[in-house]
Structure 1
Amino acid sequence: MTADKQPESVSSVLKTFGILQALATQKDIGISELAQRLMMSKSTVYRFLQTMKSLGYVSQEGETENYSLTLKLFELGAAALEYVDLVELANGEMRRISDLTMEALHLGALDGDSIIYVHKLDSKYNLRMQSRIGRRNPLYSTAIGKVLLCVRPEQEVRDILSEVEFVQTTERTHKDVDSLLVELALVKDQGFAEDVEEQEIGLRCIAVPVYDRFNQVIAGLSISLPTIRFTEEKKAEYICELHAAARRISEKLGCTVYPYAD
C-alpha cells in the first residue's frame, strides 16, 4: 500500500519520518529539494516543517531558508538509552537484594503525574504482589513516588499533581497535596520513603532514590513486603541495602556524589 492510500494518520507519520530521515542525511536542505526527494508537494513539506519547527525538532536558517535537525532527537534517544542502561545496571543489584531478602523489588520512574515500573523482581515467597513492568501507580501513595517528588520544589509538586485525584485506596492514603508535602520534606531529609499500607492494606514498601550523571533523581528503587513479615530491624537492614545498591547504580550512571551513606 502506498503512502497516498494509507489512512490519513498513518500517512502523516510516514511523511514526518521521511522528512526527518532526509534531514538526517544532509546538514541543511531547502523545501524544494525536500519536496522533490520525497515526492511531496512543497506546501505539504512546508506545513510539516513548520510543525516540527514549533516542536523544536527542526531549525530554520535565516538567510538560506534551509532547514536542519536540532539536537532534540538526540536528547530523546539519549533519554531512552539511559533507561536501558538503568535497567541493566539495576538488575544485578536488585537480584542481590532479592536473594538476600526474598522480597519483591521494583524500579520506577516518573512519567507525567504517575510512576511507571521499568523493572521488577517478584518475591520468592508464594504470596506475590499484583504488579508488572509498565504498570502505573500514583505518586502520592507509593514509596517510589515520594522519592521522585521530594527533590522537587513545592510549586513543581503542586503543578505535577494539579489534576490528580487523591483516591483513598486505604484510610492511610494522603487526602491532598498539602499533607503529602509535609511527608516529602521528611523523605528528602532522611533519604528514603515509605508506603505504610497507603496503596494496599497489609503491604509496606520502602524506596530510595537513584541519581544520574547530572546528580538528578531519575528513578526510585524499592522493596515491598507484607506487614506480617515487617519488623523495625528488617526496615533498618533493608534501607541500608537499598542505599548501597542505589549508590552503586548511581555511580555507574555517572553520579559523582550519592548523598546518602550506605
Structure 2
Amino acid sequence: MVLTGSEARFVLTVECDQLLRVGDRTGKSLPAHVSSGGKAMLSVLDDDALGEALADLEPAERARVRRALRAVRQNGFAINNELTEAGLTAIGVPVSWADGMTAGISLAMPTARFSRDRVSGWVQELHGCARAIEKALSAATA
C-alpha cells in the first residue's frame, strides 16, 4: 500500500487459494486511519505530515487516532479488526526506504481465521517481508 493523502491505496494484492478469503483490492483505497497498513504508514510520519493526513477528521477523532498511532509505533504493527469491513481483520506494518518514503504491507483474513495467539508470528513474518522489500527498493534506487 501507499499513502495518498488521507487514504491507503492498494498497489498490489496476493490472494490465497482458500474458499473463504479476502479478495483482490488492487487499486482500491481505504481511509488510512482505520486500515492496518494505513495506520502503520501513518505511525512513521513526522508530525507535520501526520497533521496533513488527518486534517479532514473531527478534532476528537484526530486526537483518538493520534493516541492509537502511539501504540502502533510502540508495538511495531497495527490491527484493523472489522473497522473497514465486517468479517475482516488485518495486521499491517510500515515499509520505509530512501528519503523517508513509506509504504505498508498487511495480512488480511476473514475474522473467523484471526487468532490473537498467532499475532506475534504473523507480525514477525510481516516485518521480515518489509525488510526484504526495503532492501530490494534500496538496491533498485542505488
Deviation at 1:231, TM superposition (A): 1.3
The 2-side partners of 1:210 and 1:254 are apart by 11
Aligned-partner residue type, residue 111 of structure 2: T
CA distance in 2, matches of 1:154, 1:179: 15
CA distance 1:163–1:152, change in 2 (3 Å):
same
Structure 2: where are the runs of 5+ without partners? none
User: What do the CA deviations read for 1:167-208 (whole angstroms, capped 9, x no partner)?
Assistant: xxxxxxxx7111110010111122111112211222110011
In the alignment, which residue of structure 2 is the partner of 1:227? 111
- Check conservation: 2:22, 2:110, Cα contact below 8 A: no
Among all aligned residue pairs of Structure 1 and Structure 2, give the percentage whose two residues are the same amino acid.
30
User: Cα distance, 1:131 vs. partner?
Assistant: 4.3
- Structure possessing the higher radius of gyration over alpha carbons: 1
RMSD over aligned Cα, in angstroms? 2.0
The structure with the greater share of residues assigned to strand is 2
Q: How does 1:104-123 map to 2 (within 5 A)?
A: 108-123=1-16
2:66 — aligned with what? 181
TM-score by length of 1: 0.49
Q: Which runs of 5+ in 1 are unaligned?
A: 1-107, 166-174, 256-262
**Does the aligned pair in 2 maintain the 1:113–1:164 contact within 8 Å?**
no
Q: Which string of whole-angstrom CA distances, capped at 9 and with x for unpartnered residues, describes residues 84-129 of structure 1?
A: xxxxxxxxxxxxxxxxxxxxxxxx1011221111000113211233
- Distance in 2 (CA, whole Å) between partners of 1:130 and 1:176 is 29
Shift in Å, 1:163: 2.4
Q: Is the 8 A contact 1:148 1:217 kept in 2?
A: no
| CA distance 1:217–1:206, change in 2 (3 Å) | farther
**For 1:152, which of 41, 45, 48 is the aligned residue?**
45
Aligned length: 138
